[in-house]
Amino acid sequence: MNCCHYYQFIPGNEQVFSADVTRIRYGCGVLKELGQEARALGIKRAAVYTDSRIRSLPLFDEAVAALRAEGIEAVIYDEVRVEPTDVSFKEAARFAKSGAFDGFISIGGGSVIDTAKAANLYSSCEGDFMDYVNAPIGRGLVVSGPLRPHLACPTTAGTGSESTGIAVFDLLEMKSKTGISSRALLPDRGIVDPRWTESLPATVMAATGFDAISHALEALTAKPFTSRPSPENISGRPMPQGANPFSDTLCRESLRQAGKYLVRAVNDRADHEARHAMMYAATLAGVGFGNAGCHLPHAMSYPVSGRVEHYRPEGYPGVEPICPHGMSVIVNAPAAYRFTAPGCPERHAEGAELLGADTHDTVAAEAGAVLAGHIEEMMQATGVPNGIGGVGFTEEAVDGLAEAASAQQRLLLVAPVSVDQADLRNLYRNALSYW
């Protein structure tokens, strides 16, 4: 199989793709340059967003010392909620409004970086909270005007939030996640120091690593950007623009690295080579999916993390039940890829091969099963729960999950096959357990 013909130029359809990239500074020790980077952006008084676990780590002190060494006043907000909600976004925005800050620093995983994006937005722009939330759940208004500078320092190897203009949260009244999407939310710098991975609990390494893998797979298998009509105005070009040659290149290398290193990185905390490699894989995938979009596994994940009732994974702070983002993605992923494979079987087979599966004799009809089977093997090798049943869902939850997932049209529209609510019910049934 090959996929040389994925981008077919059709008269009237899109022929242009965007490459919106955060300026990334990558490498062990780069945190020491945080102050210089912030000062170069004109920051004198920074709101520093983090959570209580990260605040207790020596690398956090190193980052704050780097800011203060450049004469930057760093005021710390360490109450970011893991898996943020509309309520926690609003609290973080109140802190931003009250402090007369001229810049934002986020030091944490996706929850922290997304919270800083939202705090920056809602303390800079007028309007109601739902104005900027993705339609049709919110009003999906365009963010007008630039926000204040934001330097994002990811501490997990997975979310890629430093490279995207997306902030995801649980909308409590809907019991599902949704998000805010705007190129204006793209951080000005990604300060990516792989040393953070050395202290990650195994469960966090697994959840975030699988999130990165699914970012790369979903971007690689998204509908091609050439399948959309050409926009009349540049503002009509969506951020989830579909697979394109730029995102393909990044996602392929990300999958190659993650296939080689994820299992090692989860199972051996001392394997710094593997853990650092996963930080690089996640960075590549973040830029890749930020310029293509995610689809079915992410759409299915949001109601799962929004409705979890009893599951409490090891290694996460707090006492409330949660299904961490990456975990909620990967427990749905095998069922999702079996379903989407007929849309572009050659790309599903390629994804499996890049992750390390033997695809020598794989024919198109088997591509989804081969990719899903390989992911299931990786899940078992890293102690990830067995499907959505493994995080507490039963057959009775399926209808509600499917109804909530069908609202994620922004994601579902990028899937390589069409998905309706009846499909989603079958998909969740198939995702209850895999082995």
Question: Minimal distance in Å, beta carbon 332 to Fe ion?
Answer: 12
Q: Give the range of 79-87, 99-107, 208-216, 263-271 binding Fe ion by CB under 5 A.
A: 208-216
- Nearest in space to 54 (alpha carbons), one of 96, 6, 107: 107
123 vs 254, which CB is nearer to Fe ion? 254
Tell the smallest beta-carbon distance from residue 322 to Fe ion (Å). Answer: 15
Strand-pair category, 150-154 with 189-192 = parallel
CB-nearer residue toward Fe ion: 188 or 211:
211
Distance CA 13, CA 206 (A): 39
Cβ of residue 165: shortest distance to Fe ion, in angstroms?
Answer: 14
Q: Which stretch binds Fe ion (CB under 5 A): 12-20, 141-149, 204-212, 244-252?
A: 204-212
Q: Nearest distance from residue 304's CB to Fe ion, in Å?
A: 13
| CB 179, min distance to Fe ion, A | 10
The order of strands in the sheet holding 150-154 is 23-26, 189-192, 150-154, 103-108, 45-49, 73-77
Which residues does 414 contact at the CB level (< 8 Å), separation at least 6? 218, 222, 223, 240, 242, 292, 293, 294, 295
Check: CB of residue 300 under 8 Å from CB of residue 431: yes
Question: What minimum distance in Å lies between the beta carbon of 94 and Fe ion?
Answer: 27
346 binds Fe ion, rule: CB under 5 A: no
CB 223 within 8 A of CB 61: no
* Alpha helical stretches, state H, 182-227: 202-221
Among the residue ranges 77-85, 92-100, 207-215, 350-358, the one whose residues contact Fe ion (CB under 5 A)? 207-215
Cα distance between residue 48 and residue 69, in whole Å: 15
Residue 243, SS3 per DSSP: strand
Which CB sits closer to Fe ion, 43 or 251? 251
What is the total count of residues that contact Fe ion (CB under 5 A)? 1
- Rounded Cα distance between 90 and 125, Å, is 13
Of 211 and 423, the one with the shorter C-beta distance to Fe ion is 211
Region binding Fe ion by CB under 5 A among candidate stretches 196-204, 210-218, 246-254, 417-425: 210-218
Residue 211 interacting with Fe ion (CB under 5 A): yes
Nearer to Fe ion, 109 or 390 (CB): 109
Window of 71-79, 84-92, 94-102, 211-219 that interacts with Fe ion by CB under 5 A: 211-219
Residue pointed to by tokens 């956090």: 60
Closest to Fe ion by CB, 20 vs 102, is 20
Beta carbon nearer to Fe ion, 96 or 329 = 329
Minimum gap (Å) between residue 286 Cβ and Fe ion: 9
Locate tokens 């799962």: which residue? Answer: 304
CA distances from 153 to 303, 371, 399 (A): 28, 32, 39
Kindly state the smallest distance separating residue 278's Cβ from Fe ion, in Å.
Answer: 15
- Shortest-Cβ-distance residue relative to Fe ion: 211
Residues in contact with Fe ion by the rule CB under 5 A: 211
